[in-house]
Amino acid sequence: MNVNQAEFIISAVSPSQYPQDGLPEIALAGRSNVGKSSFINSLINRKNLARTSSKPGKTQTLNFYLIENKFYFVDVPGYGYAKVSKTEKAKWGPMLETYFTQRENLKAGIVVVDGRHAPSKEDIQMYEFLKYYQIPTIVVATKMDKIPRGKWNKQESLVKKNLNFQKEDKFILFSSETKQGKEQAWELIEGYLGLEE
């Protein structure tokens, strides 16, 4: 998709605040600071529409970005960041669960993992959660610019093995720095949205 129009619409915590226009949605999940917001910005050619930060825990609500008036990217708070207060974290669990289990507009989930390491326990739980609710999933292994090309295949195998990756799901090696994987990501997303030419 060639994106000319991308707009932040709303920060939502409960379903009554979600957009009501019925457009399809693609939601991003992943550890705090892994690069979810950067992934969105890369795909829409914007530096900082989805707010990114070197400080983890930046995204604290469900943030809806309307893309080309066709669909929403939903940027979700990252898990696994110790310094976010307990009260905040206690709110996120139900907020995410409600969204992922009840949102009919959700066409696919993207689990962003750090391609340099084995997935964390929480990455595995997140992936299993999406599988349990039968949400089609793209696993994006990001920050590939930080590891040499010769190790990419090995890392892909490691991530897939640890996640118990299902063959009906999709997998992308990605980098927000080099834009590696961007075309592939769009192809898959357009497929899930039913927007392919």
- Residue 146 touches which of Mg ion, ligand GTP, none (Cβ within 5-8 Å per kind): ligand GTP
Assigned token pair, 82 = 């110790």
Contact between 56 and 81 (Cβ < 8 Å):
yes
Classify 28 as helix, strand or coil. Answer: strand
Nearer to ligand GTP, 52 or 155 (CB): 52
CB of 197 to ligand GTP, least distance (A): 28
- Asked if residue 33 binds Mg ion (CB under 5 A), the reply is no
Looking at 41, 42, 59, 175, which residue binds Mg ion (CB under 5 A)?
59
CB of 88 to Mg ion, least distance (A): 14
The amino acid at residue 151 is K
Does 7 bind ligand GTP (CB under 6 A)? Our answer is no
Q: Does 155 bind ligand GTP (CB under 6 A)?
A: no
Q: Interface with ligand GTP includes 128 (CB under 6 A)?
A: no
Residues 151 and 50: their CA atoms lie apart, in Å, by 30
- Distances, alpha carbon 151 to alpha carbons 106, 146, 157, 179, 182, in Å: 33, 11, 10, 18, 20
Q: How far is CA 53 from the centre of its chain?
A: 16
Query: How many angstroms from the chain centroid is the CA of residue 151?
Result: 23
For residues 25 and 71, the answer to whether their CB atoms sit within 8 Å is: yes
Residue 109 interacting with ligand GTP (CB under 6 A): no
Q: Indicate whether 42 belongs to the interface with Mg ion (CB under 5 A).
A: no
Residue 80 binding ligand GTP, by CB under 6 A: no
Q: Which of residues 29-68 bind ligand GTP (CB under 6 A)?
A: 30, 32-38, 52-54, 56-59
Q: Is 37 in the site for Mg ion (CB under 5 A)?
A: yes
| Interaction site with Mg ion (CB under 5 A) | 36-37, 58-59
